[in-house]
Amino acid sequence: MIELRLDAQADIASFMQGFQMGSACTLAEAPQGRILFGSWSGEDVVIVRTAGYCWEINCHGGTIAVHRICQDLAAAGLRSDIEGSASNESFQGRIERVTNEALLKCRTRKTAGLVLAQQDGRLLKFASDLQSESDDKSRSARQHMQRWQSVAQHLTKPWRVAIVGEPNVGKSSLINTIAGLQRSIVSATPGTTRDLVEADIVVRGWMFRLIDTAGVRSDSDSLTEQLGIVQSLALLGDCEMICLVVDGSSGQFESVLMDRLKKVEVPICVVRNKYDILSDSENTGVPLCASSLDSVHAVTATVDVSAKTGFGISELLTWIAETAVPEEPLTEIALPFVELFGPA
């Protein structure tokens, strides 16, 4: 398959001289998604307009036909960044195209506004600063990149927040309470307690995906539960932050989970749940077994909550939002939400 991307003014037919149309429609008139049959120097091909100025040329498997057609396209004046792609897009044209694609993935006014603002030429300037011969300019562009990369990447996809802990500490209740409190839920996928269940929420205009997990315990003798546990532990390597939920009335930690959390790099919040029970009784809570936490260096906060009453939930959401976005971006800054160089 060859991906073809053209600037808005380009005349598609002028690049496709080798193409003999088998369908009763011209390339310029082809609606998006219409399959056009034909041949290219004897090779059967199928051409589809995938978006306004983007096309796919499908030919038989293997690299020879692709190479041959790419050569023809290059002779017609198109650039090929990688084998299987050809374009005459300018940098700014490419930014406009990827911005439009990215906008479809933004689910909040804030993220959409920030992505839309990137079309004004600031990414072009930022890319030229990055490549600048002046050390000062390129250094400060690299620093900017480091500071904003995570925010930029999450304009179009939610930060993943893993909710982990032993069975029965209240992980699912916590997600339900948060999703219920947030009027801005985007979706909530039902599933069994053994599956990963996700709920998308919005906090301060940023998108987050809370991922409920099977409770982790070492003494499970059920194969299904063990598979769920393996899945929960695997998620710890594939999320941007972790809420470690514990039952505040026990203060104990599960050792398998703690061993895994010791290796984790992403920030962890210890969430002491069931605060309502603690505050009802004389018992002010069993202190967290601090020695278990000592070697878990990624813990950055501890929050008391009650999934039952909603106590402490706003503090937890503040931790989530501020961990993801410690500093709110100003609307005028460059946020490189796509790879600026190479194929997009």
Q: Of residues 18, 93, 158, 170, which one binds ligand GDP by CB under 6 A?
A: 170
Q: How far is CA 214 from the centre of its chain?
A: 23
Q: Does 264 bind ligand GDP (CB under 6 A)?
A: no
Q: Does 277 bind ligand GDP (CB under 6 A)?
A: yes
Extract long-range pairs of 97-103: CB within 8 Å, 24+ residues apart: 97/5, 97/51, 97/53, 97/54, 97/344, 98/338, 98/344, 101/51, 102/155, 102/156, 102/337, 102/338
| Angle ∠(240,109,90) on CA atoms, nearest 5 | 85
Residue nearest to Mg ion (CB): 172
Q: Which of residues 205-224 bind ligand GDP (CB under 6 A)?
A: 215
Q: State how far the Cα of 219 lies from the Cα of 217, in Å rounded to an integer.
A: 6
Q: Which is nearer to ligand GDP, 93 or 215 (CB)?
A: 215
Q: Which is nearer to ligand GDP, 210 or 307 (CB)?
A: 307
CB of 166 to Mg ion, least distance (A): 10
Q: Does 128 bind Mg ion (CB under 5 A)?
A: no
Handedness of CA 71, 77, 78, 81 (dihedral sign): positive
Q: Which is nearer to ligand GDP, 76 or 227 (CB)?
A: 227
Q: Does 39 bind ligand GDP (CB under 6 A)?
A: no
* 14 and 76 Cβ atoms separated by less than 8 Å: yes
First-to-last CA distance in the chain?
Answer: 16
Q: Which stretch binds Mg ion (CB under 5 A): 122-130, 143-151, 189-197, 294-302?
A: 189-197
Cβ neighbourhood burial of 61 (10 Å; 0-12, 13-18, 19+): exposed
CB of 189 to Mg ion, least distance (A): 14
Q: Which stretch binds ligand GDP (CB under 6 A): 20-28, 130-138, 294-302, 306-314?
A: 306-314
Q: Which of residues 193-212 bind Mg ion (CB under 5 A)?
A: 193
Q: Does 273 bind ligand GDP (CB under 6 A)?
A: yes
CB of 210 to Mg ion, least distance (A): 12
* 142 and 129 Cβ atoms separated by less than 8 Å: no
Q: Which stretch binds ligand GDP (CB under 6 A): 92-100, 101-109, 164-172, 315-323?
A: 164-172
Place of tokens 């100003």: 330
Q: Does 270 bind ligand GDP (CB under 6 A)?
A: no
Full strand arrangement of the beta sheet holding 35-40: 19-21, 35-40, 43-51, 54-58, 2-5, 85-87
Q: Which stretch binds Mg ion (CB under 5 A): 12-20, 50-58, 79-87, 185-193?
A: 185-193
Q: Does 315 bind ligand GDP (CB under 6 A)?
A: no
The partner in contact with residue 71, picked from Mg ion, ligand GDP, none with C-beta cut-offs of 5 to 8 angstroms by kind, is: none
* 114 and 102 Cβ atoms separated by less than 8 Å: no
The residues binding Mg ion (CB under 5 A) are 172, 193
